Structure 1
């Protein structure tokens, strides 16, 4: 007889959000909801999705998780989806990228995610079916993960990728490490301080090389790579910029 014993999903998994960026296939949205239900997750966010609520395929594939479809949040941009999120996990099938943080296999990263999600909201960001997450979206992530696969064809279907990644996180949460005590800065706060530093550097006469967007990417990468930027750290950086701006203003008078 098959073992019918069940694992109870930890209550703190309610802090985990699954975010799909521009999904084009209603069935993938439904299958994602079913995968989430199986792993004890309940918060689904969709960025500019295809029409899915009126498509029968969505509900067929969501069997047993129709309420996740009904309650899914629909937003117009990745910025909106991540605005209040302190820790963002991006997904990719790449193995490296010039402007990206290190890319970890999900089985290595799951324990870290389990440590953060016990006390703070975590979003796992999944890309489009045809081209995944774009570089500027991956640059918004604290952590980037991939699913190891045979290199001849390493790409999984969207809902399959969701299933594998949330399964690994679920398993890590059954016997979780100690909670991460750091209070990570929210995504919108990191964006604000990145632009603030950029503006302050311009005031002192700094010329970004080779261009301003590359400099902004470099600032974001420094912040994301540390994995330890807290709200109070952002406040300190704003104070530093205030002092520099005030000094530049006095010199110009």
Structure 2
């Protein structure tokens, strides 16, 4: 293969995970794997690929990026695919109903280099070929990464987008001075803990009849997911919040001995 030195061994350094959500074409998966290999990435995760896995077309398109293809992990849900990550970026060019910080690929790479350099895990989400990521998926991310493409022709092939982010990662990873992570805020919570926190809160809010209009629940839950992802909680903070929710939920189910009626002292319910 031109340009490849087969006498050199690939070094599996800590890198971001690349997560493809419901990819449709094996050729795109293989081309993304090749782009990853060009810049030293190797952790490729697929969420319910349309044509299943393994995929012969993906292997052919990977052009001998076997060390990536052989390590592909397949997941049933995005939440499972990002469970062990504590920094997640979503690539999309579309505006969203929820507020999310929007950064460029260079800034995203610099942040991931500092994050991974500190011993943590990060990943980048890429959506479907035809319509990208949905709002619920974007809500799980810390920020949106948007490429400075020409508005009149903004559509990128998945492998092209992976290539740009992989290049920026390589540039940042080889830099002598990655951006520092400011402050000692503890170990960032892996996404699995944040997903569990939001699910617990949603169930508690259901029992409290918080969602007055059922049709609005999905959008409100997406906003809650986005809010918690943006907050950057560490693992201890998530455990504290979950304990608080559980306590309030139990309190809601039983009489409150401290509740007062107007003009009286504490009463028994």
Residue equivalent to 2:124: 124
Structure 1 window deviating more from structure 2 (192-201 vs 23-32): it is 192-201
Match of 1:241 among 223, 238, 245: 245
1:53 Cα offset (Å) = 3.5
1:216 aligns with 2:218: no
Residue equivalent to 1:4: none
Structure 1 window deviating more from structure 2 (60-69 vs 124-133): it is 60-69
1:93 Cα offset (Å) = 1.8
Residue equivalent to 1:58: 58
The 1:243/1:163 distance shift into structure 2, 3 A limit, reads same
Q: Which has the larger radius of gyration?
A: 2
Conservation of the 8 A alpha-carbon contact between 1:89 and 1:123: yes
1:100 Cα offset (Å) = 4.2
Conservation of the 8 A alpha-carbon contact between 1:101 and 1:224: no
1:213 Cα offset (Å) = 2.5
Residue equivalent to 1:84: 84
The 1:15/1:67 distance shift into structure 2, 3 A limit, reads closer
Count of aligned residue pairs for this structure pair = 241
Conservation of the 8 A alpha-carbon contact between 2:45 and 2:72: yes
2: CA distance, partners of 1:127 / 1:231: 28
Structure 1 window deviating more from structure 2 (216-225 vs 198-207): it is 198-207
Residue equivalent to 1:196: 200
* Stretches of structure 2 lacking an aligned partner (at least 5 in a row): 1-10, 257-268
2: CA distance, partners of 1:59 / 1:68: 10
Cα deviations by residue, 1:79-109 (Å, 9 ceiling, x for unpaired): 2211222221111122x31124122221232
Match of 1:225 among 205, 230, 235: 230
Question: RMSD of aligned C-alpha atoms?
Answer: 2.5
Conservation of the 8 A alpha-carbon contact between 1:147 and 1:165: no
1:172 aligns with 2:172: yes
Conservation of the 8 A alpha-carbon contact between 1:32 and 1:62: yes
Cα deviations by residue, 1:216-248 (Å, 9 ceiling, x for unpaired): 22221221222x211111111122223323433
Cα deviations by residue, 1:113-165 (Å, 9 ceiling, x for unpaired): 22112211111111111111111111111121011111101111110100001
1:113 aligns with 2:118: no
3-state SS of the aligned residue for 1:211?
helix
Cα deviations by residue, 1:6-38 (Å, 9 ceiling, x for unpaired): xxxxx7852421111111222211111111111
3-state SS of the aligned residue for 1:90?
strand
Q: Which has the higher helix share?
A: 1
Conservation of the 8 A alpha-carbon contact between 1:28 and 1:159: yes
TM-score by length of 2: 0.80
Conservation of the 8 A alpha-carbon contact between 2:141 and 2:226: no
The 1:199/1:52 distance shift into structure 2, 3 A limit, reads closer
TM-score by length of 1: 0.84
